[in-house]
Amino acid sequence: MGKVSEKAGVQQLVESFYQHGVRYIVFSPGSRNAPLVVSFANDERFKCIVIPDERSAAFYALGMAEQSKSPVPVMCTSGSALLNYYPAVSEAFYRNIPLMVVSADRPSEWTDHGDGQTIRQENVFQNHICASTSLYETPNSQDQSWFNKRTIDEVISIAKSDNGGPVHFNIPFTEPLYNTIEKAVSEKNSQALTSVMNLNPQLSSAQKEELKEVWNNAPRKLILCGQMPKNGYLNEQLKNIATDKSVAVVVENTSNLQDRSFIHCIDRTISSFIEDDPELYQPDLLITIGGAVISKKIKAYLRKFKAKTHWKIGQEFPFMDTYQSLTKSIPMQANTFFDFLLEDGFTRDLSRYGEQWKQLDYLTQGNHMMHLETIPYSDLSVFNLILDAVPDGSHLHLSNSSVIRYAQLFDPIKSINYYCNRGTSGIDGSTSTAIGHAIADENKLHTFITGDISFFYDSNAFWNHHVPSNFRVFMINNGGGGIFNIIPGPQTTAQGDEFFVAKHDFSAKSICEAFNVNYYTASTMEEIDQQLDKFYEIQNNDRPAVMEIHTDGNESGQVLRDYLEKTKVKNIPVLEM
């Protein structure tokens, strides 16, 4: 097996991680974590990568965990290095991603006594962690050894559970740190794995009858789908349910659900009725599944025009009441719940509410296509081109703020997987997360669309030896935070450009040169189009590529405002309910 740290607690961690299916390890460089480095890096069962910037490293691990659907540890030295993991930890917490932080610590007796790189590390993530523990570096008794093994199993099982998320292992290490021994672990000597079985809850007969009665007395039903991984079975279930004329299925691109019977572009559709006919689309029964919903308009609308009944489906955050109307939280897998909804005994076609939604969606889609033919060069026209250029069957990653909102104006492509950090909706770590995905799924092409501020903020994502050749970036440089040219408020202040938009004249070219990333640039639709084939080809140096697309932020903001006005449907046809 090779060399392993002489510290028995680290040996236990290595074996337990392997037993639990951990295969990727992300390291941040340091010295106090040497026992972890020499143990995992010398073990051919693990693929270890080194990311110098701790914040970036944690987002790499986040992306790898999301893509591989298994826990990925990120390991660091003691002190402030650990604190740089916090943005990724909070993102993982709100998206139930099994990110595992393993921090080396100084001996606890030196905390608060002026020793270098020594801070209060225990429970440092207490508000955004699913479980945390401190381990013995060298158990001195059978009980201490038992504690290490039992608590490692417990914490990893929590991370892997259906409503799990990030966890934290803290290990105080004493010197010497670099001593190793030859270690060979046989199955006979390995401790048995302790795991928890995941069981899907079932509805009782009485509960089923209660839910059926509510459904059968609700003429207008809205199923709103938030962020989730692609789920073909769920997609077919919702297609079946959408044949009920009284049901509207509303999704976003990050829901990874697609069908002509669904309403895909919420903001594009809702703009037509939110002012003139809001009551026409108010649901009696709201059913929500998945994670975060991007559209601020639908959230504001459903908070004002509340559903009489709101069922939240899923085990995560059971009391999360985004629309201030939650009446029942049902901790079931969505597939299991919709199997129940497709049983006999549910009355169909109580109204034409779903048809009303879909009719408006079709009309706004027509306006959308006609208006796009008239718009000048801008962020919107660029999105229209590059979204169509993303190869079928690949993965598309989107940064936050204006990028994710522009993307929601365009119908999704069924063969593409959509990803975005919507747990906390921050711009930090978007590039690193996308690259983490590309590492964990090296056989697929990964495209990342980002804005300039997000790109520069996370430029250290390229500062390592692991950025793969299957990674492509469209960076839209409109000279600042484009979102603040769109939302009302910032430009009404004297500080708009400097403090909100953060206007600049920087370019990605030097960053790409510094990190040996292939660089393309464009300032017109023709220049983008002419370079797309070469951009997506395997590069001569087998490295990733960035295309920096320059647009005008002020003009782009005005183009988007015009678009939202021009795509509205005037005099909405009302179907007889």
Ranges of beta strands (E only) in 389-537 are 395-398, 417-420, 446-451, 471-477, 518-522
Contacts 24+ apart (CB under 8 A), 11-15: 11/39, 11/183, 11/185, 12/135, 12/139, 12/145, 12/148, 12/149, 12/152, 12/191, 13/39, 13/102, 13/135, 13/148, 13/152, 13/169, 13/171, 14/39, 14/40, 14/43, 15/185, 15/190, 15/191
CATH, domain 205-365, list 3.40.50.720, 3.40.1280.30, 3.40.50.1220, 3.40.50.620: 3.40.50.1220
Closest CA to 250 of 316, 216, 311, 295: 295
Q: Tokens 């060979």 correspond to what residue? A: 184
Closest CA to 39 of 15, 70, 65, 21: 15
pLDDT of residue 189: 46
- In angstroms, the CA 207 to CA 340 distance is 11
443 phi, psi to nearest 5 deg? -90, 0
Are the beta carbons of 76 and 33 closer than 8 angstroms? yes
3-state secondary structure 265-289: CHHHHHCCCCCCCHHHHCCCEEEEE
pLDDT of residue 378: 96
Axis crossing angle, helix 8-19 with helix 34-41, rounded to the nearest 10: 50
Q: Which amino acid is at 81?
A: A
Record the pTM.
0.93
Q: What is the DSSP letter of 263?
A: B
**3-state DSSP call for residue 64?**
helix
pLDDT tens over the chain, length 577 residues: 578 999 999 999 999 999 999 999 999 998 899 999 999 999 999 999 999 999 999 999 999 999 999 999 999 999 899 999 999 999 999 999 999 999 999 888 777 776 767 778 899 999 999 999 999 999 999 999 999 999 999 999 999 998 899 999 999 998 898 988 987 655 444 667 777 777 778 899 999 999 999 999 999 999 999 999 999 999 999 999 999 999 999 999 999 999 999 999 999 999 998 888 899 999 999 999 999 999 999 999 999 999 999 999 999 999 999 999 999 999 999 999 999 999 999 999 999 999 999 999 999 999 999 999 999 999 999 999 999 999 999 999 999 989 999 999 999 999 999 999 999 999 899 999 999 999 999 999 999 999 999 999 999 999 999 999 999 999 999 987 555 555 565 555 655 555 556 677 789 999 999 999 999 999 999 999 999 999 999 999 999 999 999 999 889 999 999 999 999 998 888 887 6
- Among left, alpha and beta (phi > 0; psi -120 to 50; other), residue 123 is left
Axis crossing angle, helix 353-372 with helix 553-566, rounded to the nearest 10: 140
- In angstroms, the CA 356 to CA 576 distance is 9
Closest CA to 27 of 49, 55, 47, 4: 49
Q: Which amino acid is at 176?
A: P
257 phi, psi to nearest 5 deg? -120, 140
Q: What is the CA radius of gyration of the chain?
A: 26
- Whether CATH 3.40.50.920 fits 379-551: no
Cα angle: 506, vertex 512, 516; to 5 degrees = 160
- In angstroms, the CA 313 to CA 285 distance is 13
- In angstroms, the CA 180 to CA 2 distance is 10
- In angstroms, the CA 483 to CA 386 distance is 19
- In angstroms, the CA 433 to CA 421 distance is 8
Residues 6+ apart with CB under 8 A from 217: none
**Ranges in the chain annotated CATH 3.40.50.970:** 3-175, 379-551
Q: What is the dihedral of CA 312, 315, 316, 321, to 10 degrees?
A: 20
- In angstroms, the CA 552 to CA 379 distance is 8
Are the beta carbons of 456 and 430 closer than 8 angstroms? no
- In angstroms, the CA 550 to CA 63 distance is 28
- Whether CATH 1.25.40.10 fits 3-175: no
**Ranges in the chain annotated CATH 3.40.50.1220:** 205-365
- Dmax (CA) for the chain in angstroms is 79
Q: Tokens 């290595």 correspond to what residue? A: 14
- In angstroms, the CA 73 to CA 503 distance is 37
- In angstroms, the CA 303 to CA 322 distance is 8
Are the beta carbons of 261 and 245 closer than 8 angstroms? no
- Among left, alpha and beta (phi > 0; psi -120 to 50; other), residue 76 is beta
Q: Tokens 């996370």 correspond to what residue? A: 458
Closest CA to 65 of 225, 229, 200: 229
